[in-house]
Chain A
Amino acid sequence: MVTRAHFVSFFPFFFVHAPVFYYFCTSIVNIVHIIKRNFITRYILLALVLLGHQGCDLIEYHPYDARLEGPLHMTASMTARIVEQCAGKDTLRFAHISDTQRWYDETKELVRAINRRGDIDFVIHTGDLSDFGLTKEFVWQRTILNGLDMPWVCVIGNHDCLATGEDVYHTMFGDDNFSFNASFAHFTCINTNAFEYDYSASIPDFNFIKHDISAVPDSISQTIVAMHARPGSEQFNNNVLDYFAQMLNNYPGLAFCICGHDHHTEVLHPFDDGVPYYECGSAKTRTYIVYTLTRDSFTYEAVEI
Protein backbone atom coordinates (compact mmCIF):
# COMPACT_ATOMS: atom_id res chain seq x y z
CA MET A 1 0.00 0.00 0.00
CA VAL A 2 1.32 3.41 -0.91
CA THR A 3 1.23 5.64 2.12
CA ARG A 4 1.65 9.32 2.59
CA ALA A 5 5.14 8.65 3.97
CA HIS A 6 6.10 6.98 0.69
CA PHE A 7 4.83 9.90 -1.29
CA VAL A 8 6.75 12.37 0.82
CA SER A 9 9.94 10.38 0.58
CA PHE A 10 9.62 9.91 -3.20
CA PHE A 11 8.77 13.52 -3.79
CA PRO A 12 10.76 15.71 -1.41
CA PHE A 13 9.24 18.92 -2.76
CA PHE A 14 5.71 17.71 -2.26
CA PHE A 15 5.02 20.17 0.52
CA VAL A 16 6.10 23.04 -1.73
CA HIS A 17 4.03 21.93 -4.72
CA ALA A 18 1.02 20.85 -2.74
CA PRO A 19 -0.58 24.31 -2.38
CA VAL A 20 -0.22 24.94 -6.12
CA PHE A 21 -1.66 21.57 -6.98
CA TYR A 22 -4.41 21.89 -4.39
CA TYR A 23 -5.41 25.33 -5.67
CA PHE A 24 -5.43 24.17 -9.27
CA CYS A 25 -7.59 21.13 -8.47
CA THR A 26 -10.03 22.99 -6.27
CA SER A 27 -10.46 25.78 -8.78
CA ILE A 28 -11.30 23.30 -11.55
CA VAL A 29 -13.75 21.62 -9.17
CA ASN A 30 -15.15 25.06 -8.42
CA ILE A 31 -15.62 25.87 -12.12
CA VAL A 32 -17.23 22.51 -12.87
CA HIS A 33 -19.49 23.04 -9.86
CA ILE A 34 -20.52 26.48 -11.09
CA ILE A 35 -21.30 25.17 -14.58
CA LYS A 36 -23.28 22.26 -13.14
CA ARG A 37 -25.32 24.23 -10.63
CA ASN A 38 -25.67 27.62 -12.19
CA PHE A 39 -28.17 27.68 -15.03
CA ILE A 40 -27.21 31.20 -16.09
CA THR A 41 -23.58 30.21 -16.59
CA ARG A 42 -24.69 27.18 -18.54
CA TYR A 43 -26.88 29.26 -20.83
CA ILE A 44 -24.11 31.83 -21.32
CA LEU A 45 -21.74 29.05 -22.40
CA LEU A 46 -24.39 27.62 -24.71
CA ALA A 47 -25.05 31.06 -26.19
CA LEU A 48 -21.32 31.55 -26.81
CA VAL A 49 -20.99 28.22 -28.60
CA LEU A 50 -24.03 29.07 -30.72
CA LEU A 51 -22.60 32.52 -31.48
CA GLY A 52 -19.45 30.86 -32.77
CA HIS A 53 -21.40 28.42 -34.92
CA GLN A 54 -23.65 31.09 -36.38
CA GLY A 55 -20.71 32.37 -38.41
CA CYS A 56 -19.97 35.53 -36.50
CA ASP A 57 -16.78 36.86 -38.07
CA LEU A 58 -15.43 38.00 -34.72
CA ILE A 59 -15.29 34.50 -33.33
CA GLU A 60 -12.16 32.66 -34.37
CA TYR A 61 -10.86 29.62 -32.53
CA HIS A 62 -7.47 29.58 -34.23
CA PRO A 63 -6.03 31.03 -37.49
CA TYR A 64 -5.56 27.44 -38.72
CA ASP A 65 -8.79 26.00 -37.31
CA ALA A 66 -10.23 25.04 -40.76
CA ARG A 67 -13.72 25.86 -39.46
CA LEU A 68 -15.52 26.49 -42.74
CA GLU A 69 -18.99 27.63 -43.62
CA GLY A 70 -20.66 28.76 -46.82
CA PRO A 71 -20.15 27.09 -50.21
CA LEU A 72 -17.92 24.00 -49.94
CA HIS A 73 -16.73 21.33 -52.41
CA MET A 74 -16.92 23.98 -55.10
CA THR A 75 -14.87 22.19 -57.79
CA ALA A 76 -17.69 19.73 -58.42
CA SER A 77 -20.39 22.38 -58.72
CA MET A 78 -18.21 24.77 -60.74
CA THR A 79 -17.10 22.12 -63.27
CA ALA A 80 -20.73 21.03 -63.62
CA ARG A 81 -21.66 24.63 -64.44
CA ILE A 82 -18.77 24.91 -66.95
CA VAL A 83 -19.76 21.67 -68.68
CA GLU A 84 -23.37 22.79 -68.88
CA GLN A 85 -22.69 26.33 -70.09
CA CYS A 86 -20.06 25.34 -72.71
CA ALA A 87 -21.91 22.37 -74.18
CA GLY A 88 -22.04 22.54 -78.00
CA LYS A 89 -19.93 25.72 -78.28
CA ASP A 90 -17.51 26.04 -81.21
CA THR A 91 -15.40 28.78 -79.59
CA LEU A 92 -14.34 28.71 -75.95
CA ARG A 93 -12.81 31.65 -74.16
CA PHE A 94 -11.40 31.33 -70.67
CA ALA A 95 -9.34 33.59 -68.44
CA HIS A 96 -6.31 32.49 -66.46
CA ILE A 97 -5.31 34.20 -63.19
CA SER A 98 -2.74 33.08 -60.66
CA ASP A 99 -1.09 33.77 -57.30
CA THR A 100 -3.70 36.09 -55.83
CA GLN A 101 -2.28 35.56 -52.34
CA ARG A 102 -2.54 38.58 -50.03
CA TRP A 103 -3.33 40.94 -52.96
CA TYR A 104 -7.02 41.34 -52.25
CA ASP A 105 -7.37 44.81 -53.78
CA GLU A 106 -5.68 43.66 -57.00
CA THR A 107 -7.72 40.43 -57.10
CA LYS A 108 -10.88 42.49 -56.74
CA GLU A 109 -9.76 44.63 -59.69
CA LEU A 110 -9.02 41.52 -61.78
CA VAL A 111 -12.49 40.16 -61.01
CA ARG A 112 -14.03 43.48 -62.01
CA ALA A 113 -12.01 43.62 -65.25
CA ILE A 114 -12.92 40.05 -66.22
CA ASN A 115 -16.60 40.66 -65.47
CA ARG A 116 -16.55 43.87 -67.51
CA ARG A 117 -15.37 42.04 -70.66
CA GLY A 118 -18.43 39.81 -70.69
CA ASP A 119 -16.96 37.31 -73.19
CA ILE A 120 -15.27 34.91 -70.77
CA ASP A 121 -16.82 31.46 -70.33
CA PHE A 122 -14.95 30.49 -67.17
CA VAL A 123 -11.85 31.29 -65.15
CA ILE A 124 -8.99 29.00 -64.10
CA HIS A 125 -6.93 30.07 -61.08
CA THR A 126 -3.54 28.33 -61.07
CA GLY A 127 -2.94 28.19 -57.34
CA ASP A 128 -1.81 30.17 -54.32
CA LEU A 129 -5.03 31.61 -52.99
CA SER A 130 -3.48 32.00 -49.57
CA ASP A 131 -0.09 33.28 -48.48
CA PHE A 132 0.16 31.72 -45.00
CA GLY A 133 -2.36 28.89 -45.40
CA LEU A 134 -4.72 30.62 -42.96
CA THR A 135 -8.35 29.55 -43.10
CA LYS A 136 -9.41 33.19 -43.16
CA GLU A 137 -7.36 33.86 -46.31
CA PHE A 138 -9.18 31.10 -48.22
CA VAL A 139 -12.54 32.50 -47.10
CA TRP A 140 -11.60 36.04 -48.16
CA GLN A 141 -10.40 34.83 -51.58
CA ARG A 142 -13.56 32.77 -52.04
CA THR A 143 -15.64 35.84 -51.26
CA ILE A 144 -13.79 37.93 -53.86
CA LEU A 145 -13.64 35.26 -56.59
CA ASN A 146 -17.30 34.36 -56.12
CA GLY A 147 -17.90 37.87 -57.41
CA LEU A 148 -17.03 36.51 -60.87
CA ASP A 149 -20.06 36.27 -63.14
CA MET A 150 -18.78 33.01 -64.61
CA PRO A 151 -17.76 29.73 -62.94
CA TRP A 152 -14.17 29.42 -61.74
CA VAL A 153 -11.94 26.55 -60.64
CA CYS A 154 -8.75 26.61 -58.63
CA VAL A 155 -5.61 24.46 -58.71
CA ILE A 156 -3.72 23.91 -55.43
CA GLY A 157 -0.60 26.03 -54.98
CA ASN A 158 2.40 25.52 -52.74
CA HIS A 159 1.26 28.17 -50.24
CA ASP A 160 -2.13 26.44 -50.06
CA CYS A 161 -0.39 23.35 -48.68
CA LEU A 162 0.94 25.12 -45.56
CA ALA A 163 -0.27 23.86 -42.18
CA THR A 164 -4.00 23.10 -42.52
CA GLY A 165 -4.28 24.86 -45.90
CA GLU A 166 -4.44 21.54 -47.70
CA ASP A 167 -7.38 20.38 -45.55
CA VAL A 168 -9.11 23.69 -46.21
CA TYR A 169 -8.50 23.30 -49.96
CA HIS A 170 -9.90 19.77 -49.94
CA THR A 171 -12.98 20.89 -48.03
CA MET A 172 -13.59 24.11 -49.90
CA PHE A 173 -12.80 22.88 -53.43
CA GLY A 174 -12.33 19.12 -53.52
CA ASP A 175 -9.63 16.83 -54.89
CA ASP A 176 -6.36 18.47 -55.92
CA ASN A 177 -6.35 16.50 -59.22
CA PHE A 178 -9.48 16.92 -61.32
CA SER A 179 -10.56 17.25 -64.92
CA PHE A 180 -13.59 18.34 -66.93
CA ASN A 181 -14.72 18.54 -70.53
CA ALA A 182 -15.94 21.85 -71.90
CA SER A 183 -17.47 21.14 -75.32
CA PHE A 184 -14.53 20.01 -77.49
CA ALA A 185 -11.77 20.76 -74.94
CA HIS A 186 -10.53 18.63 -72.09
CA PHE A 187 -9.14 20.45 -69.03
CA THR A 188 -6.91 18.66 -66.54
CA CYS A 189 -5.87 20.35 -63.30
CA ILE A 190 -3.08 18.68 -61.35
CA ASN A 191 -1.14 19.21 -58.14
CA THR A 192 2.58 19.63 -58.93
CA ASN A 193 3.85 20.87 -55.54
CA ALA A 194 5.99 17.79 -54.84
CA PHE A 195 8.45 19.79 -52.73
CA GLU A 196 5.72 20.58 -50.18
CA TYR A 197 5.31 16.86 -49.55
CA ASP A 198 9.09 16.29 -49.47
CA TYR A 199 8.66 14.14 -52.63
CA SER A 200 7.01 11.47 -50.45
CA ALA A 201 3.60 11.64 -52.17
CA SER A 202 2.78 10.70 -55.75
CA ILE A 203 2.92 14.22 -57.13
CA PRO A 204 2.38 14.63 -60.05
CA ASP A 205 -0.05 11.74 -59.80
CA PHE A 206 0.64 9.64 -62.92
CA ASN A 207 -2.06 7.18 -61.93
CA PHE A 208 -4.60 9.97 -62.11
CA ILE A 209 -3.22 11.16 -65.48
CA LYS A 210 -3.29 7.61 -66.89
CA HIS A 211 -6.90 7.03 -65.86
CA ASP A 212 -7.85 10.51 -67.01
CA ILE A 213 -6.38 9.92 -70.49
CA SER A 214 -8.27 6.65 -70.85
CA ALA A 215 -11.52 8.39 -69.91
CA VAL A 216 -11.26 11.23 -72.46
CA PRO A 217 -14.24 10.98 -74.85
CA ASP A 218 -13.76 10.89 -78.65
CA SER A 219 -15.37 14.28 -79.13
CA ILE A 220 -12.35 15.99 -77.55
CA SER A 221 -9.97 17.67 -79.98
CA GLN A 222 -7.89 19.84 -77.61
CA THR A 223 -6.45 19.30 -74.14
CA ILE A 224 -5.23 21.97 -71.74
CA VAL A 225 -3.33 21.07 -68.57
CA ALA A 226 -3.35 23.49 -65.61
CA MET A 227 -0.82 23.29 -62.78
CA HIS A 228 0.73 25.59 -60.20
CA ALA A 229 4.49 24.94 -60.48
CA ARG A 230 5.84 24.35 -63.97
CA PRO A 231 8.25 21.48 -64.76
CA GLY A 232 11.74 22.60 -63.80
CA SER A 233 10.64 24.81 -60.92
CA GLU A 234 11.94 24.01 -57.43
CA GLN A 235 8.48 22.79 -56.38
CA PHE A 236 8.25 20.25 -59.22
CA ASN A 237 9.54 16.69 -58.91
CA ASN A 238 12.25 17.21 -61.54
CA ASN A 239 13.30 13.58 -61.36
CA VAL A 240 10.29 12.67 -63.52
CA LEU A 241 10.48 15.50 -66.07
CA ASP A 242 10.73 13.35 -69.21
CA TYR A 243 8.11 10.86 -68.07
CA PHE A 244 5.79 13.77 -67.24
CA ALA A 245 6.24 15.18 -70.76
CA GLN A 246 5.59 11.75 -72.32
CA MET A 247 2.48 11.21 -70.22
CA LEU A 248 1.00 14.60 -71.10
CA ASN A 249 1.64 13.96 -74.79
CA ASN A 250 -0.68 10.95 -74.57
CA TYR A 251 -3.59 13.36 -74.18
CA PRO A 252 -5.51 13.80 -77.45
CA GLY A 253 -4.48 17.12 -79.04
CA LEU A 254 -2.44 18.49 -76.15
CA ALA A 255 -2.53 22.21 -76.98
CA PHE A 256 -0.71 23.94 -74.13
CA CYS A 257 -0.19 24.01 -70.37
CA ILE A 258 -0.89 26.89 -68.00
CA CYS A 259 0.91 27.56 -64.74
CA GLY A 260 1.75 30.19 -62.14
CA HIS A 261 4.06 30.26 -59.13
CA ASP A 262 6.89 32.51 -60.39
CA HIS A 263 4.84 35.74 -60.16
CA HIS A 264 5.68 36.95 -63.68
CA THR A 265 4.08 36.45 -67.08
CA GLU A 266 6.12 34.35 -69.46
CA VAL A 267 5.96 31.82 -72.31
CA LEU A 268 8.13 28.79 -71.65
CA HIS A 269 9.11 25.64 -73.53
CA PRO A 270 10.53 23.33 -70.86
CA PHE A 271 10.48 20.36 -73.28
CA ASP A 272 11.35 20.36 -76.99
CA ASP A 273 8.04 18.68 -77.88
CA GLY A 274 6.41 21.91 -79.05
CA VAL A 275 4.03 22.24 -76.07
CA PRO A 276 4.13 25.79 -74.72
CA TYR A 277 3.70 26.61 -71.00
CA TYR A 278 1.97 29.91 -70.38
CA GLU A 279 2.78 31.35 -67.01
CA CYS A 280 0.55 34.05 -65.56
CA GLY A 281 1.95 36.66 -63.21
CA SER A 282 0.67 37.19 -59.69
CA ALA A 283 -2.25 39.48 -58.91
CA LYS A 284 0.32 42.11 -57.99
CA THR A 285 1.23 42.39 -61.69
CA ARG A 286 -2.53 42.89 -62.42
CA THR A 287 -2.30 40.47 -65.32
CA TYR A 288 -4.71 37.88 -66.63
CA ILE A 289 -4.39 35.79 -69.76
CA VAL A 290 -7.33 35.13 -72.09
CA TYR A 291 -7.27 32.02 -74.26
CA THR A 292 -9.62 31.58 -77.20
CA LEU A 293 -10.04 27.99 -78.34
CA THR A 294 -11.57 26.68 -81.52
CA ARG A 295 -11.79 23.02 -82.44
CA ASP A 296 -8.35 22.98 -84.05
CA SER A 297 -6.51 26.13 -82.99
CA PHE A 298 -6.06 28.58 -80.14
CA THR A 299 -4.94 32.15 -79.53
CA TYR A 300 -3.91 33.81 -76.30
CA GLU A 301 -3.59 37.35 -75.05
CA ALA A 302 -2.08 38.62 -71.82
CA VAL A 303 -4.04 41.58 -70.48
CA GLU A 304 -2.64 44.02 -67.96
CA ILE A 305 -5.29 46.13 -66.24
Chain B
Amino acid sequence: MKPLKYSLPLLLLALFAVTVSASDWPADDKIRLIAINDSLLTDTPDSVAVEDFDSLQNRSSRYERIVRRYHKFWMGMVPSHIKVQYAGSIGLFSIGMGWHYGGRQHRKWETDLQFGYLPRYHRRTGNFILTARESYIPFRVRLGDNLDIEPLSCGLFFSSIFGEEYWREQPSRYPRKYYGFSTSIRANVFIGQRLRFGIPSSVRKRNNSLTAYYELSASELDLISFSTNRWVSLWDILSLSVGIKFDLF
Protein backbone atom coordinates (compact mmCIF):
# COMPACT_ATOMS: atom_id res chain seq x y z
CA MET B 1 0.00 0.00 0.00
CA LYS B 2 3.05 2.16 0.18
CA PRO B 3 2.95 3.30 -3.48
CA LEU B 4 -0.78 3.99 -3.17
CA LYS B 5 -0.08 6.01 -0.06
CA TYR B 6 2.12 8.43 -2.07
CA SER B 7 0.29 8.19 -5.40
CA LEU B 8 -2.53 10.59 -4.51
CA PRO B 9 -0.25 13.50 -3.44
CA LEU B 10 1.99 12.76 -6.46
CA LEU B 11 -1.01 12.83 -8.79
CA LEU B 12 -2.19 16.14 -7.33
CA LEU B 13 1.30 17.57 -7.66
CA ALA B 14 1.55 16.43 -11.27
CA LEU B 15 -1.89 17.89 -12.07
CA PHE B 16 -0.87 21.21 -10.51
CA ALA B 17 2.40 21.24 -12.47
CA VAL B 18 0.59 20.51 -15.74
CA THR B 19 -2.04 23.20 -15.04
CA VAL B 20 0.52 25.81 -14.17
CA SER B 21 2.73 25.08 -17.16
CA ALA B 22 -0.23 25.01 -19.55
CA SER B 23 -1.67 28.29 -18.33
CA ASP B 24 -0.34 31.48 -19.78
CA TRP B 25 0.58 33.37 -16.66
CA PRO B 26 -0.20 36.18 -16.16
CA ALA B 27 -3.51 35.61 -17.89
CA ASP B 28 -4.13 37.76 -20.95
CA ASP B 29 -7.21 39.45 -19.57
CA LYS B 30 -5.37 40.71 -16.51
CA ILE B 31 -3.56 43.99 -16.80
CA ARG B 32 -0.38 44.44 -14.82
CA LEU B 33 0.04 47.92 -13.48
CA ILE B 34 3.61 48.91 -12.93
CA ALA B 35 4.57 52.20 -11.41
CA ILE B 36 7.90 53.58 -12.49
CA ASN B 37 8.38 56.70 -10.44
CA ASP B 38 5.68 59.12 -11.63
CA SER B 39 4.45 57.31 -14.71
CA LEU B 40 2.01 54.45 -14.57
CA LEU B 41 2.42 51.81 -17.25
CA THR B 42 -0.04 49.10 -18.18
CA ASP B 43 2.64 46.68 -19.18
CA THR B 44 6.36 46.32 -18.96
CA PRO B 45 8.38 47.08 -22.03
CA ASP B 46 9.94 43.92 -23.40
CA SER B 47 13.34 45.36 -22.78
CA VAL B 48 12.72 45.62 -19.03
CA ALA B 49 13.60 42.31 -17.41
CA VAL B 50 11.92 41.45 -14.12
CA GLU B 51 15.25 41.34 -12.28
CA ASP B 52 15.75 44.98 -13.20
CA PHE B 53 13.02 46.11 -10.82
CA ASP B 54 15.49 46.60 -8.03
CA SER B 55 17.54 48.96 -10.09
CA LEU B 56 14.39 50.77 -11.30
CA GLN B 57 13.70 51.83 -7.74
CA ASN B 58 17.04 53.55 -7.69
CA ARG B 59 16.21 57.11 -8.79
CA SER B 60 19.63 57.90 -10.08
CA SER B 61 19.78 54.95 -12.45
CA ARG B 62 20.95 56.03 -15.88
CA TYR B 63 18.68 53.58 -17.61
CA GLU B 64 15.68 54.85 -15.70
CA ARG B 65 16.48 58.43 -16.64
CA ILE B 66 16.73 57.51 -20.29
CA VAL B 67 13.38 55.75 -20.18
CA ARG B 68 11.83 58.70 -18.39
CA ARG B 69 13.18 61.14 -20.98
CA TYR B 70 12.02 58.85 -23.76
CA HIS B 71 8.52 58.74 -22.31
CA LYS B 72 8.45 62.48 -21.81
CA PHE B 73 9.47 63.06 -25.42
CA TRP B 74 6.85 60.77 -26.89
CA MET B 75 4.12 61.92 -24.50
CA GLY B 76 4.79 65.43 -25.76
CA MET B 77 3.92 64.18 -29.23
CA VAL B 78 0.37 63.30 -28.24
CA PRO B 79 -1.93 65.60 -30.26
CA SER B 80 -3.72 68.12 -28.12
CA HIS B 81 -6.69 68.63 -30.38
CA ILE B 82 -8.62 67.38 -33.38
CA LYS B 83 -10.09 69.59 -36.08
CA VAL B 84 -12.98 68.93 -38.40
CA GLN B 85 -13.19 71.45 -41.20
CA TYR B 86 -15.51 72.17 -44.08
CA ALA B 87 -14.14 73.62 -47.37
CA GLY B 88 -11.19 76.04 -47.36
CA SER B 89 -9.39 74.74 -50.49
CA ILE B 90 -8.27 71.55 -48.73
CA GLY B 91 -11.16 69.25 -49.56
CA LEU B 92 -14.91 69.08 -49.03
CA PHE B 93 -14.31 67.92 -45.47
CA SER B 94 -11.03 67.47 -43.71
CA ILE B 95 -10.10 65.97 -40.37
CA GLY B 96 -6.82 66.51 -38.65
CA MET B 97 -4.90 66.43 -35.46
CA GLY B 98 -2.78 69.18 -34.04
CA TRP B 99 -0.68 70.52 -31.25
CA HIS B 100 -0.87 73.85 -29.47
CA TYR B 101 2.09 75.35 -27.70
CA GLY B 102 3.83 78.61 -26.87
CA GLY B 103 2.72 81.47 -24.66
CA ARG B 104 1.58 81.34 -21.04
CA GLN B 105 -1.40 79.05 -21.73
CA HIS B 106 0.44 77.05 -24.40
CA ARG B 107 -2.14 78.22 -26.90
CA LYS B 108 -0.34 80.90 -28.88
CA TRP B 109 0.83 78.67 -31.72
CA GLU B 110 -0.83 75.74 -33.37
CA THR B 111 0.44 73.14 -35.79
CA ASP B 112 -2.05 70.93 -37.59
CA LEU B 113 -1.92 68.01 -39.93
CA GLN B 114 -5.17 67.70 -41.87
CA PHE B 115 -6.41 65.06 -44.22
CA GLY B 116 -9.15 66.04 -46.62
CA TYR B 117 -11.26 64.36 -49.26
CA LEU B 118 -12.28 65.97 -52.53
CA PRO B 119 -15.17 64.25 -54.35
CA ARG B 120 -15.00 63.66 -58.08
CA TYR B 121 -17.19 66.45 -59.50
CA HIS B 122 -16.10 66.77 -63.16
CA ARG B 123 -12.67 65.19 -62.69
CA ARG B 124 -11.74 61.60 -63.40
CA THR B 125 -11.42 60.47 -59.75
CA GLY B 126 -11.83 61.74 -56.22
CA ASN B 127 -8.63 62.80 -54.47
CA PHE B 128 -7.14 63.00 -50.99
CA ILE B 129 -5.40 66.14 -49.82
CA LEU B 130 -2.82 66.41 -47.06
CA THR B 131 -2.40 69.77 -45.37
CA ALA B 132 0.18 71.12 -42.93
CA ARG B 133 -0.99 74.24 -41.14
CA GLU B 134 0.71 76.69 -38.80
CA SER B 135 -1.48 79.20 -36.97
CA TYR B 136 -0.67 82.13 -34.73
CA ILE B 137 -3.22 83.29 -32.15
CA PRO B 138 -1.69 86.39 -30.56
CA PHE B 139 -4.31 87.04 -27.87
CA ARG B 140 -7.69 86.02 -26.55
CA VAL B 141 -10.46 87.89 -24.77
CA ARG B 142 -12.34 86.29 -21.89
CA LEU B 143 -16.09 86.76 -22.31
CA GLY B 144 -17.34 84.57 -19.49
CA ASP B 145 -16.51 81.65 -17.25
CA ASN B 146 -16.42 79.21 -20.10
CA LEU B 147 -16.28 81.44 -23.13
CA ASP B 148 -13.25 82.98 -24.84
CA ILE B 149 -13.08 84.84 -28.11
CA GLU B 150 -9.95 84.75 -30.21
CA PRO B 151 -10.39 87.82 -32.43
CA LEU B 152 -7.45 86.99 -34.69
CA SER B 153 -5.89 83.81 -35.90
CA CYS B 154 -3.62 83.91 -38.88
CA GLY B 155 -0.96 81.83 -40.54
CA LEU B 156 -0.23 79.75 -43.55
CA PHE B 157 -0.83 76.25 -44.78
CA PHE B 158 0.56 74.04 -47.48
CA SER B 159 -1.70 71.52 -49.15
CA SER B 160 -0.67 68.63 -51.32
CA ILE B 161 -3.18 66.83 -53.51
CA PHE B 162 -2.58 63.19 -54.39
CA GLY B 163 -3.24 62.03 -57.94
CA GLU B 164 -1.37 61.15 -61.10
CA GLU B 165 -2.46 64.31 -62.94
CA TYR B 166 -0.78 66.60 -60.38
CA TRP B 167 2.95 67.04 -60.17
CA ARG B 168 5.20 68.50 -57.51
CA GLU B 169 7.74 69.51 -60.14
CA GLN B 170 7.15 69.65 -63.87
CA PRO B 171 7.80 66.27 -65.55
CA SER B 172 11.28 65.79 -66.97
CA ARG B 173 10.11 66.03 -70.61
CA TYR B 174 9.65 69.80 -70.34
CA PRO B 175 12.48 72.27 -70.91
CA ARG B 176 13.71 74.00 -67.79
CA LYS B 177 11.18 76.45 -66.24
CA TYR B 178 8.55 75.66 -68.88
CA TYR B 179 5.90 75.68 -66.14
CA GLY B 180 7.47 77.39 -63.16
CA PHE B 181 5.01 76.15 -60.55
CA SER B 182 3.74 73.00 -58.92
CA THR B 183 0.21 71.77 -59.58
CA SER B 184 0.06 69.51 -56.53
CA ILE B 185 1.40 71.77 -53.77
CA ARG B 186 -0.40 74.99 -52.91
CA ALA B 187 0.80 77.57 -50.40
CA ASN B 188 -1.98 79.55 -48.78
CA VAL B 189 -2.26 82.34 -46.25
CA PHE B 190 -5.30 82.71 -44.02
CA ILE B 191 -6.89 84.96 -41.45
CA GLY B 192 -9.80 84.09 -39.20
CA GLN B 193 -11.60 84.27 -35.88
CA ARG B 194 -12.58 81.76 -33.22
CA LEU B 195 -14.94 81.23 -30.33
CA ARG B 196 -13.84 78.85 -27.59
CA PHE B 197 -16.35 77.14 -25.29
CA GLY B 198 -14.86 75.64 -22.18
CA ILE B 199 -16.62 72.50 -20.94
CA PRO B 200 -17.15 72.56 -17.16
CA SER B 201 -15.36 69.70 -15.42
CA SER B 202 -18.65 68.35 -14.06
CA VAL B 203 -19.96 67.54 -17.54
CA ARG B 204 -16.61 67.02 -19.24
CA LYS B 205 -16.27 63.69 -20.99
CA ARG B 206 -13.44 63.70 -23.51
CA ASN B 207 -12.74 67.31 -24.37
CA ASN B 208 -12.01 70.23 -22.10
CA SER B 209 -13.10 72.78 -24.69
CA LEU B 210 -14.64 73.17 -28.14
CA THR B 211 -13.60 75.91 -30.54
CA ALA B 212 -15.71 77.03 -33.49
CA TYR B 213 -13.78 78.92 -36.14
CA TYR B 214 -13.90 80.36 -39.61
CA GLU B 215 -11.02 81.32 -41.85
CA LEU B 216 -10.57 83.18 -45.13
CA SER B 217 -7.64 81.94 -47.18
CA ALA B 218 -6.01 82.70 -50.51
CA SER B 219 -3.51 80.66 -52.47
CA GLU B 220 -0.34 82.03 -53.99
CA LEU B 221 -1.57 81.53 -57.59
CA ASP B 222 -4.75 83.46 -56.87
CA LEU B 223 -2.73 86.23 -55.24
CA ILE B 224 -0.69 86.52 -58.46
CA SER B 225 -3.90 86.91 -60.50
CA PHE B 226 -5.28 89.38 -57.96
CA SER B 227 -2.18 91.56 -57.86
CA THR B 228 -1.88 91.85 -61.66
CA ASN B 229 -5.54 92.48 -62.53
CA ARG B 230 -8.01 95.10 -61.47
CA TRP B 231 -10.83 92.89 -62.76
CA VAL B 232 -10.13 90.23 -60.10
CA SER B 233 -11.56 91.34 -56.78
CA LEU B 234 -10.45 90.17 -53.36
CA TRP B 235 -13.75 88.30 -52.85
CA ASP B 236 -13.05 86.33 -56.03
CA ILE B 237 -9.90 84.80 -54.62
CA LEU B 238 -10.88 84.30 -50.97
CA SER B 239 -11.93 80.88 -49.82
CA LEU B 240 -14.05 80.41 -46.70
CA SER B 241 -13.69 77.52 -44.31
CA VAL B 242 -15.55 76.73 -41.11
CA GLY B 243 -14.67 74.13 -38.56
CA ILE B 244 -14.74 72.83 -35.04
CA LYS B 245 -11.71 72.09 -32.90
CA PHE B 246 -11.99 69.51 -30.12
CA ASP B 247 -9.44 70.18 -27.39
CA LEU B 248 -8.42 67.26 -25.22
CA PHE B 249 -6.16 69.35 -23.00
Q: Which residues of A contact B (CB under 8 A)?
A: 3-5, 8-9, 12, 15-16, 19-20, 23-24, 26-28, 30-31, 45, 48-49, 52, 56-68, 102-105, 108, 131-134, 136-137, 140, 144, 162-164, 167-168, 170-171, 195, 198, 234
Closest B residue, CB atoms, query A67: B121
| CB-based contact A57/B45 at 8 Å | no
| CB-based contact B122/A198 at 8 Å | no
Number of interface residues of B (CB under 8 A): 68
Listed from nearest, the 3 A-B pairs whose CB atoms lie closest are A58-B240, A104-B231, A66-B122
Asked whether any CB of chain A lies closer than 8 Å to the CB of B78, the reply is: yes
| CB-based contact A66/B121 at 8 Å | yes
| CB-based contact B238/A102 at 8 Å | no
Asked whether any CB of chain A lies closer than 8 Å to the CB of B28, the reply is: yes
Provide the bound-state CA to CA distance between A20 and B28, in Å: 23
Could you give, for residues 41-57 of chain B, a 1 whenever the CB lies within 8 Å of some chain A CB and a 0 otherwise? 11101110000000000
Q: Would you give the shortest CB distance from A110 to chain B, in whole angstroms?
A: 12
Provide the bound-state CA to CA distance between A170 and B77, in Å: 46
Q: Name the A residues within 8 Å of B75 (CB-CB).
A: 19
| CB-based contact B87/A60 at 8 Å | yes
| CB-based contact A132/B89 at 8 Å | no
| CB-based contact A137/B225 at 8 Å | yes
- Name the contact of A62 in the complex, choosing from B90, B171, B225, B248 (C-beta under 8 A): B90
Q: Would you give the shortest CB distance from B117 to chain A, in whole angstroms?
A: 9
| CB-based contact A104/B232 at 8 Å | yes
Provide the bound-state CA to CA distance between A227 and B159, in Å: 35
Among the 9-residue stretches B6-14, B132-140, B144-152, B175-183, the one with 4 or more Cβ atoms under 8 Å from chain A is B175-183
Asked whether any CB of chain A lies closer than 8 Å to the CB of B242, the reply is: yes
Provide the bound-state CA to CA distance between A167 and B46, in Å: 55
Provide the bound-state CA to CA distance between A105 and B227, in Å: 12
Q: Would you give the shortest CB distance from A159 to chain B, in whole angstroms?
A: 8
| CB-based contact A20/B221 at 8 Å | no
Q: Would you give the shortest CB distance from A127 to chain B, in whole angstroms?
A: 15
Q: Which of chain B's residues 217-241 have a Cβ closer than 8 Å to chain A?
A: 219, 221-222, 224-225, 228-232, 235-240
Name, among B24, B74, B171, B237, the residue most crowded by chain A CB atoms within 10 Å (CB to CB): B74
Asked whether any CB of chain A lies closer than 8 Å to the CB of B106, the reply is: no
Known: A26-B206, A45-B86, A65-B121. A12 touches B229 (CB 8 A): no
